Amino acid sequence: MASNTLYSPRDPALKKRDDFEDILEERRSSSDLRYALRCYVPVVYKGIAPCKPGVLKTAVLQSDRLRHVVAEMSKETGESADVIREEASGILEEMAHRLRLGTVRFFAYSLSKAFKALFQRVRVNEDGIQRLQQSIQEHPVVLLPSHRSYMDFLIMSYILYTYDLSLPVIAAGMDFLGMKIVGEMLRMSGAFFIRRSFGGDKLYWAVFSEYVKTMLRNGYAPIEFFLEGTRSRTCKSLTPKLGLLNIVMEPFFKGEVFDVSLVPISISYERVLEEALYARELLGVPKPKESTSGLLKARKILSEDYGSIHVYFGHPVSLRSLAQGRINRSQYNLLPRHIPRRPSQETQAFVNETAYRLVRLQEENMVLRPWVLVAALLLQNPDGVDMERLVEQTSWLRGLAVSFGAFLDWPDYVSASKAVASSLALHTGLVRTEGGRAQLAMEPKEPGSPEEDLFDRAASVLSCASYRNQILHVFLRPALLGMAMQMAEASRKDDIYSCFSFLRDVFSNEFILCPGGTVQDFDEACYMLTKCAAVHVQKQEVVATEKGQRILSFLTSLFQPFLKGYQVVCRFLCEDAPEGFPESEYVAAVRSFAVKRILSGELTCYEALSSDVQKNALAALLRMKVVRKLKVGDQVTLRVNKVAANTLENKLGGRVSTQKALLARL
């Protein structure tokens, strides 16, 4: 099975990972200018057909695919082909990158300065770089970094330049172009811009996909894009978007390239630059439009310490070996290859599954700092915790995380107390330490209305949660098992499995859970919990052990906020949602519902205010057909099956005694 070629889930703790090197170290001791002007001769793909960006554009405009689409559209609309071609050329002009070494050198210089000011270290696994260098020569390469910050693609290009590797061309959102000069500069450093949505625009799709494919086929440069589609505001991986992945896979399916190397890259920040911004955004303060002056204002962040960045270049994954036995490439034999065609169902399933696996690979290689553990513990103790106890708990959690395969950057020689202390020191904005106790900084700086105070508190909870979220993927499967055991209220394995499967289904928009991998995930969870002696798995039963109570209660409360968040959404839909209300008002409505409940003291979970949780919950409910979308005019309204929503809420809250009946009704 393809999964075996990607990773083996057995005993993740044994995973061998590479060591890191700090690339800023050298920058601190030698001239940035010389570095920016040094001779840059990257190795290139062996089959490269070297060409200038201009030639590339012509190749795209004259491609069979585009000519075909233009002719078709001309036939459909009656518009002359020339006009449409002109339009295509305009789209391409707006989209295409204009990579220039001069601009790259400018960035190399200024980023060196900026990085040195912002970060303590930028650490890269050099073995990964070597593997990448090898791959670049053999096959077209697609770089797939995780996306947590605007910094991501600057960092990527910076590292590749540093190691003398081909600079990638990067798919970026059109919103960057709003930043006048910067947008164009990014363009000249290899970014190409795509509109966020172009649903039915056939011409746009054709130009865009042909542009990417042409670069891939020619081995023009590594192609970089973000599987998650957008920056994750929660620091938790987002479910992957498939559009670009489909595009870069097609040349392989159609035999135009021998193979494509997919390289998952995990970029982890000790402190995300956008930390405070994200929390506000999740609470409904809209995202500021990207603007040059905004960026300049962001200069004040230059004076702060953002710790270190870890960039892990994962093993290149051969698309060919993934597709072996899954995709029958001869399905493309009977239609000219330039005629666009919807991918077959098996292809779609394959692309989807691959996307999930790649995101999981990103997650697995994400470096976690001790602070992440501390944040998880602080969130579970909203009233604060003694330093001593915090150190003890952190040390305990470290052991658990490592045994579950977490990639923890916590060398053995650093004691727990030291690790906790330095974590707290870097995040003084979020934690208050007084009188030997540590507590989330919840008191507002200047008291305002109860609602404003509430939002302030929520902002610091969400900021803190964004660090906890980084480690959720390590605990996800065992935690789902723990929750399922609680929910099943029995030890029969079948019951637990069905609860596990239910929870997994509910949360599959929230976390990275590979479609169709329930059995595998269940086995993995059983294995992990057995390994740390938290449960006993027998043929028919799964029983918690004495020793396992601590682990299980930690795990379940780790995921409690999500459970609560989904419950709140269900409650809202049952009680407060008017019949057929517009989708666009959904987030605001749930939020004010939650605010009311918090103010009234019925709810203590601030994370229920996160629009991310709310949106994911809605997506899940839509998927489970508890809510349906109806199109009335040009407005989309939501219709709620209140009975189902109620049942779901009860089930999530564990307030059901006869689960069988419930399952039947769901």
Which chain residues interact with another protein by CB under 8 A?
47, 255-256, 258-259, 328-330, 332-333, 336-337
Cα 94 to Cα 117: distance, rounded to the nearest angstrom: 34
Question: Which of residues 35 and 258 has its CB atom nearest to another protein in the complex?
Answer: 258
Taking the complex as a whole, the smallest distance from the CB of residue 661 to another protein amounts, in Å, to 48
User: Among residues 51 and 185, whose Cβ is nearest to another protein?
Assistant: 51
The nearest distance, CB 484 to another protein, in angstroms, is 42
Closest CA to 3 of 508, 510, 243, 361: 361
CA–centroid distance for 587 within its chain: 21
Locate tokens 């090898």: which residue? 134
| 72 versus 138: smaller Cβ distance to another protein | 138
State which amino acid sits at residue 633: G
Task: Compute φ and ψ for 145, nearest 5 degrees.
Answer: -80, 155
CB of 127 to another protein, least distance (A): 21
Which residues, including other chains, have CB under 8 Å from residue 570's CB and lie 6 or more apart?
A: 617, 621, 626, 645, 646, 648, 649, 652
> Minimum distance from CB of 339 to another protein (Å)?
12
Using the minimum distance from each CB to another protein, give the nearer residue, 330 or 540: 330
**Residue closer to another protein, measured from CB, 328 or 428:** 328
CB of 430 to another protein, least distance (A): 51
Q: Rounded to an integer, what distance in angstroms lies between the CA atom of residue 366 and that of residue 169?
A: 23
Of 212, 211, 167, 172, residue with least CA distance to 192: 172
- Given the complex with another protein, which of 285 and 339 has the nearer CB atom? 339
Structure tokens at 147: 């996306």
Q: How far is the CB of 333 from another protein (least distance, A)?
A: 4
How far apart are CB 139 and another protein at their closest, in Å? 9
Query: Cβ 662 to another protein, closest distance in Å?
Result: 47
d(CA 164, CA 42): 5
3-class DSSP assignment, residue 378: helix
Shortest reach from residue 336's CB to another protein, in Å: 7
419, containing H or E segment:
helix 416-426
CB 235 within 8 A of CB 148: yes
Toward another protein, which CB reaches closer, 241 or 320?
320
Q: Check: CB of residue 219 under 8 Å from CB of residue 49.
A: yes
Q: DSSP assignment of 542-554, as one string?
A: EEE-TTHHHHHHH
* Whole-angstrom distance, CA of residue 311 vs CA of residue 313: 6
Strands of 157-250 (E only): list them.
169-173, 191-194, 223-224
The token pair that represents 584 in the structure block = 């666009």
- Phi (first) and psi of residue 340, to 5 degrees: -65, 145
CB of 201 to another protein, least distance (A): 27
Whether residue 138 contacts residue 261, with contact meaning beta carbons closer than 8 Å, is answered with yes
CB of 47 to another protein, least distance (A): 8
- Of the pair 230, 333, the CB lying nearest another protein is at 333
Q: How many CA atoms lie within 13 A of 168 on its CB side?
A: 28
Q: Which two tokens stand for residue 336?
A: 């000219």
Nearer to another protein, 248 or 471 (CB): 248
245-251 contacts at long range (C-beta below 8 A, 24 or more positions apart) = 245/351, 245/354, 245/355, 246/343, 246/351, 247/208, 247/209, 247/212, 247/213, 248/142, 248/212, 248/213, 248/216, 248/223, 249/319, 249/351, 249/354, 250/209, 250/213, 250/343, 251/140, 251/213, 251/216, 251/217
Measured from the CB atom, the residue of 150 and 258 that comes closer to another protein is 258
Q: 47 vs 284, which CB is nearer to another protein? A: 47
Closer to another protein by Cβ: residue 254 or 642: 254
Burial of residue 401 (number of CB atoms within 10 Å: 0-12, 13-18, 19+) = buried
Cα 619 from chain centroid (whole Å): 17
Q: Which is nearer to another protein, 213 or 231 (CB)?
A: 213
In the bound state with another protein, the residue whose beta carbon lies nearer, of 328 and 604, is: 328
CA-wise closest residue to 98 among 218, 219, 184, 205: 184
Closest to another protein by CB, 351 vs 552, is 351
| Whether the Cβ atoms of residue 364 and residue 405 lie closer than 8 Å to each other | yes
Contact 302, 458 (CB under 8 A): no
* Distance in Å, CB of 56 to another protein, minimum: 17
Rounded to a whole number of angstroms, the minimum distance from the CB of residue 257 to another protein is 8
Compute the least distance from the CB of residue 55 to another protein, in Å: 16
Angstrom distance (rounded) from CA 351 to CA 144: 14
Report, in Å, the least distance between residue 332 CB and another protein. 7
Ranges assigned E (strand) in 356-414: 385-386
